[in-house]
Amino acid sequence: MVAQRRSAQSAAKWRSEHDVWIDHASLDLSDVEWLSGVRRLTLWAVKIPEGFLSSLPQLQWLDIRGGSGTSIDVVNGCSNLTYLAVNQIRGLHDLSALGAQASLRLLSLYGLPQVRSLPSLAGLVHLKRLEIGSMKGLSGFGPLLEAPCLEELLLIRAVALSSTDPAAIAAHPTIRAFEWFAEDVPDKTWVPVVDQVGRPKAKPMEASDWFARNP
């Protein structure tokens, strides 16, 4: 017998008046009412109905972790997101919806081994910081470098770069900080990349700390 998931409202843990964490539950369209004022939302293995997130008018921070799904289309219509984290979603391979998130300032992608290709971020004119981690399936992340005002790029653990990516990072006109936190990557792989890019180190930090430094 399959255990029934908890309702989202019973699973919700409020960190503040506008910041909530929901863990292993299912959202329903009726949940829009009690979540209408939320600004920061963390969803861990939560089932999300189509169009739900775009119905939250105050939503600015979204952290989606765990669970399953093939695309990130749940963010379609979210017009006010300044921070988006997508972390370890089984089967996820389609990130095309990211290209329309024009208000993003910080984007973090981690533990998505099925992602082979990336969307252009040319329309993300406010994006300043990009974190890419544990994504071995990439054919290269040139399209991400189309973000015109990107300032900080942080790679975490194993990330597949194309042969032209290091030069493209080095040539990016606005990137001022770069680092590869290469915990499980051979030195012969990551050291030449860091040397070729030749930027000061981008520091690992919590999103809240980054926004506090970049109001």
pLDDT tens digit sequence for 14-64: 999 999 999 999 999 999 999 999 999 999 999 999 999 999 999 999 999
Note if the pTM is more than 0.85.
Answer: yes
Which CATH superfamily hosts domain 18-213? Ribonuclease Inhibitor (3.80.10.10)
pLDDT at 4: 58
DSSP H/E element including 135: strand 129-135
Q: Where are the domains of the chain?
A: 18-213
Q: What is the pLDDT of residue 57?
A: 93
State the DSSP H helix or E strand holding residue 99, giving kind and residue range, or none if neither.
none
Give the DSSP per-residue string, 58-80.
Answer: T--EEEEESSB-SB-GGGTT---
What are the respective helix, strand and coil percentages of the chain, to the nearest 5? 25, 25, 50
Task: Show the low-confidence residues of the chain (pLDDT under 70).
Answer: 1-5
Q: So what's the pLDDT on residue 1?
A: 39
Q: Can you tell me the distance from the alpha carbon of 124 to that of 103, in angstroms, rounded to the nearest whole number? A: 7
- What is the C-alpha to C-alpha distance for residues 65 and 198, in angstroms, rounded to an integer? 33
